[in-house]
Structure 1
Amino acid sequence: MHELNWGLPVILYLFLGGMGAGAGAVSASIFLRSGGGDLAGSNFRFARWGALLAPVLVILGTGMIVLELGSFQTGHYFRFINLFRTINLSPMSIGSWVLALFILVSLAYAYTFLRPDAAPGDALQTLRKKLAWAMVPLGLAVALYTGVLLGAMPARPFWNSPILAMLFMVSALSTGVAAILLVRALFAHRGIISPENFERHSYMLSSSDMLLIGLEVVVIFLFLMFGHLTVGNVKTAMSVILGGEMSALFWFGFVLLGLVLPGLIEMKYVLPTLLYQRPFAIPRRMEVAICVLVLVGGFMLRYVVVIAGQMTGPVGI
């Protein structure tokens, strides 16, 4: 029996925090690519969904880790504040401050989109642009931080990989795009903007997600190759997903359901537009299914990594 000190709260923190950071970075990127929202109103609406999702998801995820660190069972409700009492170069200290700064900036960024009449060129446009420039690097930093935090633990050989941070960052961007598309598919009213612009920007996000899934497959390959080619404890630890106890969850729950299946479905709808300039059209049910599969894959990745890392350590250093 393996002793698991980190369970669902930590997994949800890594999942929700990464997805929120990805949604925030993608939202700001969409907004800035449209000239700060001045060029196309449809871009503004896509950016708005991501802006409103980002702080909610990250705050929920942070609440999970605070619950884990607070030792509520023993009455230590505010132990997490110790993370901010000292500033040093440890991943935990740097990450805590980056996370806090992202929450503050994302709340302000979301506020600029909150009014029902928010639109390009309104009174908050200048502030919105400045915050968008900050959201991109902060979102990427938070997404990277979750992988750096685990990868900086040499006593846990499964986590001790320089590729883990890149894997978590790409997954965060992919789940962030999926979250925006899911909100669009469930709650958007096409009458608000022209169908042509609506589908054009839906295509932009769907094609971006397809490319991110492809990149994630490459990073997974590098992650597995690093573990396989590294001698000693790291190679032994990787066996838990290469035929070991977590292999079914990793290959079926993450790789097949979370990467291969949604990637192939998206290719079916994206490639005709990409290669032959045909109008992009995807059934709403299919778009919801793709997004759900990507989100399930993102959760399964964190679940497998967190649990496998505890099953294969600690070791002496």
Structure 2
Amino acid sequence: MPIILYLFLGGAGSGACLVLAVAGLFVPRERVIVVRSGRARRGVRTAFAAPSAYRSLFAPAYACSLVAMLLGMLCLAADLGRADRLLLLLVSPTFSHIAVGAYAFAACFVLALVLALAWAGVVRGVSQGFVRVAEILLIPIALIVMVYTGLLLQSLAAVPLWAVFWLPAVFVLSSLSCGIALVAGVAHLGSAGAAFAPLFRRAVFADAAVIVLEALSVAAFLVACAAAAGASASGTAQAAASSYTELVAGANAGLWWFGFAGMGLALPLLLEVVLLSDEAKPRGLALAASACVLLGGFVMRFCIVEAGMHPVIAFAAGG
């Protein structure tokens, strides 16, 4: 469970950071600067200062993404067994998926914290250019964390289910959808959802497109799993077959089909189509869609991790 929570929280938190960084870059410059007293050598001195409306959008959303990533770090430390092993990942010179992911995770957290303090108005006097640079840097770093949550499992090639080519794409698209849902959910819990209705209408459209792409990636993932399960009668093929059967028809099949495919993909897509066609933009539907996406993102990771089976275990189970 700690690694499942780490994959979910890390993906959702980094996805939200990516969404917020992109949104921040589209905020007009004149809305977030103030003229300070005195003059610099090259013109009037200005500083970054977000008005209350923007603070109500970015500050809580960044705070939630930071909480999600912090909890993810704690889950990773719990999975490693000792907290000092997490620090060893940052000081170890060994190049690995885990080490790269740990560095990217730490950088994403630091940049998100800096931007959260800037948008909340806690840190004053920073330039608007500094904030823009931090947002530009956060975009690729958050994307690396999103990709890493899929590559982490795929790098464990001994488990055939996790070595499928489409798994990172599924995780990245799920992380992006969960990030949009997290930002939209936080905004609609407060006043920012109504204040930035045009922005969230575009976000709903983007998330609907991401859900469609995620569904297609999941379909390709299942087809690839079925193909691997039908390979030669080796221990690897038996493990692939056992994992595939466990995923689609095993003990957690109900969670996979109802919790993920139904509640996590089909239902939020339906709700978002209604949101796009309804000019009233009911707040309850937006919150329901966000909750369904986040639930589906967790269930998907739970089912895939639980269904993974090692060839030796599969061979022993098959007799």
Superposition TM-score, scaled by structure 1 size: 0.82
Structure 1 residues 200, 83: closer, same or farther in 2, change over 3 A?
Answer: same
Deviation, 1:185, is 1.3
Matched residues, number = 287
Distance 1:79 1:223 in 2: 33
Q: Please, which of 62, 71, 74 is the counterpart of residue 63 of structure 1?
A: 74
- Structure-2 residue corresponding to 1:294: 293
Aligned partners of 2:275 and 2:285 also within 8 Å: no
Q: For residues 237-262 of structure 1, what are the alpha-carbon distances to aligned partners after superposition, in whole Å with 9 as ceiling and x for unaligned?
A: 21212222222111111010111011
Aligned partners of 2:56 and 2:191 also within 8 Å: no
- Structure-2 residue corresponding to 1:282: 281
Structure 1 residues 314, 246: closer, same or farther in 2, change over 3 A?
Answer: same
**1:16 is the counterpart of 2:13:** no
Aligned partners of 1:112 and 1:124 also within 8 Å: no
Give % identity. Answer: 29
Aligned partners of 2:55 and 2:120 also within 8 Å: no
Distance 1:263 1:37 in 2: 36
1:29-178 matches, cutoff 5 A: 29-35=22-28, 38=31, 46-71=57-82, 77-115=83-121, 123-178=126-181
Structure 1 residues 242, 86: closer, same or farther in 2, change over 3 A?
Answer: same
Deviation, 1:10, is 1.3
More strand by share: 2
User: Quick check: 197-206 or 260-269, which moved more?
Assistant: 197-206
Give secondary structure in 2 for the equivalent of 1:240.
Answer: helix
Q: Write the letter of the residue equivalent to 1:93.
A: A
RMSD: 2.5
Aligned partners of 1:262 and 1:294 also within 8 Å: yes
Q: Please, which of 244, 250, 259 is the counterpart of residue 250 of structure 2?
A: 244
**1:259 is the counterpart of 2:265:** yes
**1:313 is the counterpart of 2:310:** yes
Q: Please, which of 216, 219, 225 is the counterpart of residue 217 of structure 2?
A: 219
Q: Write the letter of the residue equivalent to 1:165.
A: P
Distance 1:45 1:219 in 2: 35
Give secondary structure in 2 for the equivalent of 1:159.
Answer: helix
Distance 2:136 2:205 in 1: 23
Unmatched 5+ residue regions in structure 1? 1-7, 72-76, 273-278
Aligned partners of 1:259 and 1:294 also within 8 Å: yes
Q: For residues 133-185 of structure 1, what are the alpha-carbon distances to aligned partners after superposition, in whole Å with 9 as ceiling and x for unaligned?
A: 01111111101101101001111111111211111111111011111111111
Structure 1 residues 44, 163: closer, same or farther in 2, change over 3 A?
Answer: farther
Deviation, 1:215, is 1.1
Deviation, 1:81, is 2.2
Q: For residues 280-315 of structure 1, what are the alpha-carbon distances to aligned partners after superposition, in whole Å with 9 as ceiling and x for unaligned?
A: 332111111111111110110111111111xx2254
Q: Which of these two proteins has the greater Rg computed from alpha carbons?
A: 2
Distance 1:182 1:303 in 2: 22
Superposition TM-score, scaled by structure 2 size: 0.82
